[in-house]
Structure 1
Amino acid sequence: MGRPAGDRSLPARRGGAGLPGRTAPRRAPVPAFRERAAPRPVCPQSAGRRGRPVAGAARFDPRRARLGVRRLALHLGAARGAESSVRRGGRLARSGARAHSGATHGAARFARPAPGDRSARSVARWPPPFPRRAGHARAGRPAGGARARRAAAPTAPALRSTSARPASGRAAGLHVTAPRSTPRASELFGVTFQNPVLLASGTAGFGREVRDVIDLDALGGIVTKAVTPEPRRGHAAPRVAEFPGGMLNAVGLANPGLATVRDHELPWLATHLRRARVIVNVAGATVDDYVAVIRDLADLAVITAFELNASCPNTSAGGLEFGATPEGVRELVRRCRGATTKPITVKLSPVVPDLTALAQVARDEGADAVTLVNTIPGALDHRLGNGSGGVSGPALLPLGVLATRRVTARVGMPVIGVGGIRTARDVREYLAAGATLVAIGTAALADPRVPERVARELARG
């Protein structure tokens, strides 16, 4: 009678002399290496909570170490208060994590949910497993490994003859990855940015705050903290609060004021930057405030362009944001355009009925680009001294990418993509959507080295 499928226990051994015909007791069977287990739910960075263990979650088996798994990532939840899966290097270390590079071929796989297990449906999709055996190939892909798949793939002429665009990865049964592109120097505002990575406004003040941490000249440029005519102390503390999707901030446009920026901050940037460009963010309570700042700074050679923060409340319009209506955008851009010949970009929030219509108005009134997207309003009980603030961080990534894609396609004007960028992969999402430059904000607040690291990764392709 055959041995049950999956039973990998050693065959019974005959006892020694004196015990004729007696067999040694069977050892506990070594579980099949391809056992399935429900992965643990993904907990975004900064959540700060302990996850509840999933029933039947996989645990580390020391016997697997003998199979050649080198430095297996142990993010398989233990039964007692184990931390949820964590982020390392900008990627999720998933439950049942794949073996480190150099592991024995096929020695570890990503854990999959058991059939019918509804608890695992909300977790991140696992990447495709290691090479499959014959008969187990994914639908739409020929069995037999990479060589057989290459042989079965249609030639380039065949692809061109069937469609101008190849089928999407999902439709063809392929694993879909973020688009990859080799970044190069970017042209915008009539000048060259050595790479597309900027420090977003409010991230590093006016540059000198992070001079001992990163090399600002390794970036494409820096967008300064918002500048208003008079100094502003900002909102009461606490001004920042983290939550699983990112961060709430209510800084309140705190800045030293126009005179200090003109006499001290911008001269420092002119002295210390050789390659990185400078974009000055401008804010105010009235259109006159914007115009006053721009006129006073327009003759400084260090400034490449001005960024208009259109999410400020307009006190002349009852507190309605400048960027909330086409009329508000029209007046703001027209007046600022008349105050300078330097390029202007308008930073817009996605919380509007028609973002592309506002971008069209900005372009018609003389804006050279738009920055997409600004923060969106949010609140959490007792988290901020101001009561509410702006949502930023990972939650904004899909919003910013979609806004960028729509504006570039429908309006045809340059876009500086900002919102949720943490990795080179995120940057490529914006570039593939049509962005000319990108700006990194919240991730740089957590670690000022992120923009420089992302720029290096992009340079390596």
Structure 2
Amino acid sequence: MNNTRLAVELPGLSLKNPIMPASGSFGFGDGDITKTNDLNELGAIVLKTTTKDPKKGNLQPQIVVLQDGVLNSVGLTNPGVKNVVNEKIPTLRKHYSKLPIIASIAGESFEDYLFVAQHFAAPGLIDALELNVSCPNVAEGGMQFGVDPKVIQKLTAAVKEIIAVPLYVKLTPNVTDIVACARAAQEGGADGLTMINTLYGMRIDPVTKKTLVGNQMGGWSGPGILPLAIRMIYQVAHVVNIPIIGVGGISSALDVLEMYLAGASAVQIGSAQFKDPAACWHILSELESEMDKANVNNLQELSDQIKRKFRDERR
């Protein structure tokens, strides 16, 4: 595979290709899929979102895979930041010394976010930090932070002061004005954006009369949200000057190219892996072929071309 053709440069990240698993997909690089597929072939790994203290997650069932998507209410299950920093990441680095690592953090208060960020601030521990202000599965914290531009700006700035690595803010689609939220993150000092997270959804079984996930509501993802992700990325890419990592409904190499045309500079794969655990690798294997069909010579060149086009449109 021609790595130069697929290579992408982002703040703090030199990616051999644009494909990475979305936060939670591969845990901390210790999931079953990593036993049969090499993480080193991917552009980077995004770790499961980490919080100050260990979390057991929401009531079961936490994940329901349906024909048209995935409804999840996991609730940020994780072993807590001290375990992640002292055990999970060192183990991951030992096995994948050159793989870019993006940590993801969340909290129920400013103090929680800053506590977790401080633990990830050690030099050489991670390559970038993703600020999850958009998880719809936690009773407190995520949604409250992610829907208010003023709070997004303040939180982004506070975390940025603590860490030396680039900061990517993951935005929720559950807002009326995604552009205002994106601008707020940029004004707070974000080096990039990740968008979008899941939509707040719910399903009810007509026979049992019970909701399909134990927490009643959860995050809805899958191919059905791709048009929404494309629209929001397109809107935001026209007004910000920081790169966007596109996520939401990607299930093919063509979807990756569409994300680029909307304004993304790299992508994350999430729900596609519930039906195809090796989706990241399969999409990657098809990417150059689809680039040939679309007359795309180089992904970095495509990204730069789209950014120039957007700048011209703003004049």
TM-score by length of 2: 0.84
Asked if the contact 2:135–2:197 (Cα under 8 Å) also holds between the matched residues in 1, the reply is no
Which residue pairs with 1:438 in the alignment?
A: 267
2:122 aligns to what? 299
Residue ranges of structure 2 left out of the alignment (5+ in a row): 205-210, 292-315
Report the Cα offset of residue 432 of structure 1. Answer: 1.4
For residue 187 of structure 1, report the CA deviation from its aligned partner: 0.6
Aligned-partner Cα distance in 2 for 1:244–1:183:
35
1:205 corresponds to which of 27, 49, 58: 27
The corresponding residue for 1:282 is 105
Distance (Å, rounded) in 1 between the aligned partners of 2:71 and 2:242 = 30
Paired letter, 2:172: S
Distance 2:232 2:99 in 1: 26
**Of 149, 152, 163, which residue of structure 2 is paired with 1:340?**
163
Report which of the two structures shows the higher radius of gyration computed on alpha carbons: 1
The one of 222, 237, 242 aligned to 1:413: 242
SS in 2 for 1:207: coil
Distance 2:222 2:143 in 1: 24
Distance 1:413 1:385, change over 3 A: same
1:195 aligns with 2:195: no
RCO comparison, higher one (Cα < 8 Å, 6+): 2
CA distance in structure 1 between the aligned counterparts of 2:258 and 2:270, rounded to whole angstroms: 16
Alignment of 1:260-279 (within 5 A): 260-279=83-102
Match of 1:225 among 43, 48, 60: 48
Given the superposition, is the C-alpha separation of residues 192 and 346 from structure 1 closer, same or farther in structure 2, using an over 3 Å criterion? same
8 Å CA contact retained: 1:329, 1:358: yes
Matched, 1:377 2:206: no
* Counterpart for residue 356 of structure 1: 179
Partner residue of 1:449 out of 278, 295, 298? 278
Q: Deviations over 1:232-288 (max 9, x none)?
A: 000011011233431110000000111110111100111111443110010111111
Give the counterpart of 1:240 among 63, 82, 88: 63
- Report the secondary structure of 1:322's partner residue: helix
Q: Secondary structure at the match of 1:334?
A: helix
* Aligned match for 1:399, one of 228, 251, 259: 228
- The match for 2:147 among 317, 324, 327 is 324
Rate the CA distance shift 1:328–1:272 in 2: closer, same or farther, 3 A.
same
Contact preservation (8 Å) 1:309, 1:347? yes
Contact persistence 1:183–1:196 (CA under 8 A): no
Query: Which AA in structure 2 matches 1:200?
Result: A
Q: Do 1:345 and 1:371's aligned partners in 2 also have CA atoms closer than 8 Å?
A: yes
Once the 2 structures are TM-superposed, how far is the Cα of residue 445 of structure 1 from its aligned partner? 2.8
1:316 Cα deviation from its structure 2 partner: 7.8
- Cα gap change, 1:398 to 1:300, in 2 (>3 Å): same
Would the aligned equivalents of 2:20 and 2:269 in 1 still touch at CA under 8 Å?
A: yes
* Root-mean-square deviation (Å): 1.9
Identity %: 39
Contact 1:194 1:276 in 2 (8 A): no
CA distance in 2, matches of 1:365, 1:305: 16
- For residues 312 and 416 of structure 1, what CA distance do their matches in structure 2 show? 17
SS of alignment partner, residue 56 of structure 2: coil
Provide the secondary structure at the position in 1 that maps to 2:70. Answer: strand
**Cα distance in 1 for residues equivalent to 2:269 and 2:252:** 9
**CA distance in structure 1 between the aligned counterparts of 2:120 and 2:143, rounded to whole angstroms:** 27
Taking structure 1 as the reference length, the TM-score comes to 0.58
**Cα gap change, 1:256/1:363 in structure 2, threshold over 3 Å: closer, same or farther?**
same
1:88-99 pair list within 5 angstroms: none
> Structure 1: which 5+ runs fail to align?
1-181
Shift in alpha-carbon separation, 1:330–1:442, aligned structure 2, 3 A: same
Q: Partner letter of residue 201 of structure 2?
A: G
Contact 1:312 1:322 in 2 (8 A): no
Change (3 A) 1:315 1:445: closer
Paired residues of 1:186 and 1:196 also in contact (CA < 8 A): yes
Structure 1 residue 378: Cα displacement: 0.6
Task: Measure, in 2, the Cα distance between the counterparts of 1:312 and 1:207.
Answer: 21
> Paired residue for 2:287?
458
Deviation at 1:417, TM superposition (A): 0.1
Q: Deviations over 1:92-141 (max 9, x none)?
A: xxxxxxxxxxxxxxxxxxxxxxxxxxxxxxxxxxxxxxxxxxxxxxxxxx
Q: Contact between 2:20 and 2:45, CA under 8 Å: does it hold in 1?
A: yes
